[in-house]
Amino acid sequence: MNAVTLDLPTLPAIEPEWQRRVRADRQLLFDIHHAVGGPFHVVYPAQFSENLRSFQRTLAAHGVRGQVYYGKKANKAGCWLPEIVDLDAAVDVASEPELVHALAHGVRGRDIGVTGAAKTDALLRLAARHDCVVAVDALDELARLAEIAQSAGPVRILLRRLPPNAPHSRFGLSADDLDTAITLCARLRPAVELIGFSFHLDGYAVAPRAELAFDLIRLCAKTKAQGLPITALSVGGGFACRYLRDKDWNAFLAHRRDDWFHAGKRFEKFYPYAQSPTGADMLDAILATTFDGRTLATHLRDNDIQLFLEPGRALLIDAGCTVFPVLGYKQNADYGITTVHGLSMSVSEQWKGSEFLPDPILVPRNSDRATSPIATCVGGASCMEYDVLTWRKVPMPQRPEPGDLLLYPNTAGYQMDKNESEFHQLPLPPKVVVSTHEEGRIRWRMDK
Ligand SMILES: *Cc1c(COP(=O)(O)O)cnc(C)c1O
């Protein structure tokens, strides 16, 4: 390493086995690039399926009946949906196109949850017609839905609770409105069937989820005693994920300096790239939290309440990556600027005033090039100064050259298509679905 790269941190992503194999194949990524011509996303549904099963196994291990609703907004690919169908899971949607996409891939209406603030009449009508579960967010929405249910048929609903510890949230019903809504629901039967309550919290902590769930279990019991058909409680999404090892992440946080970033760029906050417990282990911790001497799982069982979950990111962790062709590299200072074919909209973290920090990985076209380490930031192929995929000066074993590929690991959850646009009339990067063939060969197809 030369003086330039000495002090700069590396944040190597924890790489799943399938991605290592895709990267190790000398031809695969270059063949795909040859076929698609520009940047592309690689997605691996087998990992999604494994992540989903881990949540289902945790519910089963606690003897809790429940359903896992995939928070669909985290990635638009169709390839996740057949995995969900095969595992008898469900989908959480917030728009008509999302709902129709799920139906079109074989998800039954009764396995679709509809969340979001004030939903359109068209979405509510579609939901009622297809027996979806609607999380009602406000009293006026309940009134509209009741009206629609007169003709569209009976509709099952959850009432979404405004989190008491996040009173400024835009989502959910206040305690008073919740009371009013329950009273209304008793009168709206059978057009509207209140089957339970829901919430979705910011952050990734176990305790606030367990506590609010316990509060709502008591409300379920009380509401059931009034004769309403309460059977379910949804704890939403926000299951934690891990991208980096603790030692790398902690060193980064402890020693962070502004001159680690191109143009002195400053960021106020980053996603917690190393945390625990994650995914299904976090669900396990929630279910094992005790109240009045019994676990949350026991309270759910004793009250005959199903637990609904709505993980988005946690089902997509390790299930995809993004590949940008390198267009060029130049050096105006003691570090380089790499420009890739693609836009920073594909790495959505920039659009929240933050940065996706796991190191991008250089995949050189010629592996026999003489290596001399450099550090580089990464810019997109647009005319905007701020179109930067990576402001951080990332150490690399050699300088990127036109024809090389730059792989961003672990992008499937929110870092693929959440904010993509056709800026400069550039086509959106396609998604390439990879799977392992019988003899261990890797095959690929385009997502539909
Ligand atoms: C976004 C969202 C989710 C998924 O959140 P993740 O952090 O991706 O798990 C689940 N439920 C609701 C209501 C949401 O808005």
- The full DSSP string for 69-108 is EEEGGG---STHHHHHHHTT-EEEE-SHHHHHHHHHTT--
Residues 25 and 59 in one domain: no
In a domain, 252, yes or no: no
Is residue 68 a contact partner of residue 88, using CB atoms and an 8 Å limit?
Answer: no
**Residues 6 or more apart from 291 whose CB is under 8 A from it?**
210, 214, 299
Among the listed residues 165, 176, 195, the one whose alpha carbon sits nearest the alpha carbon of residue 308? 195
Are both 39 and 50 inside the same structural domain? no
Atom of ligand 1 nearest to the CA of 160: 13
Q: How far is CA 413 from the centre of its chain?
A: 4
Q: Which residues surround ligand 1 with Cβ inside 6 Å?
A: 71, 73-74, 92, 115, 200, 236-239, 310-314
Q: Where are the beta strands (DSSP E) in 105-200?
A: 112-114, 133-136, 155-160, 192-198
Residue 246: inside a domain: no
Measure the CA–CA gap between 190 and 186, rounded to whole angstroms.
9
Q: Is 266 domain-assigned?
A: no
Beta partners for 41?
Answer: 322, 431
Nearest CA to ligand 1 atom 1: 71
How many domains does the chain divide into? Answer: 2
Q: Are residues 27 and 152 in the same domain?
A: no
pLDDT at 355 over 50: yes
Strands 90-93 and 361-363, sheet pairing? unpaired
| 185 and 86 belong to one structural domain | yes
User: Which atom of ligand 1 lies at the shortest distance from residue 198's CA?
Assistant: 13
Instruction: Compute the distance from residue 199 Cα to the ligand 1 centre, in Å.
Output: 10
Burial class (CB in 10 A: 0-12, 13-18, 19+), 287: buried
Mutate to test the pocket of ligand 1, among 75, 91, 114, 115 (most ligand atoms within 8 A of CB): 115
170 belongs to a structural domain: yes
Lowest-confidence pick of 5-9, 255-259, 265-269: 5-9
Best mutation site among 91, 239, 310, 417 for ligand 1 pocket (most ligand atoms within 8 Å of CB): 310
Nearest ligand 1 atom to the CA of 74 is 8
Same domain, 225 and 134: yes
- pLDDT for residue 316: 98
pLDDT band per the 50, 70, 90 thresholds, residue 6: low
Asked, for residue 267, whether it belongs to a domain, the answer is: no
Name the percent of the chain lying above pLDDT 90.
Answer: 93
Check whether residue 75 and residue 176 sit in a common domain: yes
**pLDDT tens column, 76-106:** 999 999 999 999 999 999 999 999 999 999 9
How far, in Å, is the centroid of ligand 1 from the Cα of 314?
10
294 and 338, same domain (yes or no): no
Q: Which domain holds residue 305?
A: 45-240+276-315
Instruction: Tell me which H or E stretch contains 221.
Output: helix 206-225
Token pair 């000066």 in the structure block, residue: 393
Q: What pLDDT, on the 0 to 100 scale, is given for residue 1? A: 44
Q: Is residue 261 part of a domain?
A: no
CA-to-CA separations, 413 to 90, 164, 267, 277, 335, in angstroms, rounded? 17, 28, 21, 18, 30
What CATH number is associated with residue 73? Answer: 3.20.20.10
260 domain residue, yes or no: no
Which residue, of 292, 315, 338, is where some domain finishes?
Answer: 315
Do 363 and 441 sit in the same domain of this protein? yes
* Residue 223 is assigned to a structural domain of this protein: yes
Q: Looking at ligand 1, which atom is closest to the CA of residue 239?
A: 9
Do 39 and 49 share a domain, yes or no? no
306 and 352 fall within a common domain:
no
What mean pLDDT is predicted for residues 326-341?
97
- Residue 324 maps to which CATH number? 2.40.37.10
Q: Could you read off the pLDDT of 234-250 as tens digits, one per residue?
A: 999 999 999 999 999 99
- Could you tell me if 147 and 292 lie in one domain? yes
Same domain, 28 and 103: no
Give the pLDDT confidence score for residue 3 in this predicted structure.
Answer: 47
Q: What is the mean pLDDT of residues 183-212?
A: 97
pLDDT the model gives residue 38: 97
What residues have CB less than 8 Å from 60, skipping those under 6 apart?
Answer: none
Atom of ligand 1 nearest to the CA of 413: 8
Query: What value does the mean pLDDT take over residues 276-283?
Result: 98
Instruction: Indicate the average pLDDT of the chain.
Output: 95
Residue 158: the pLDDT is 98
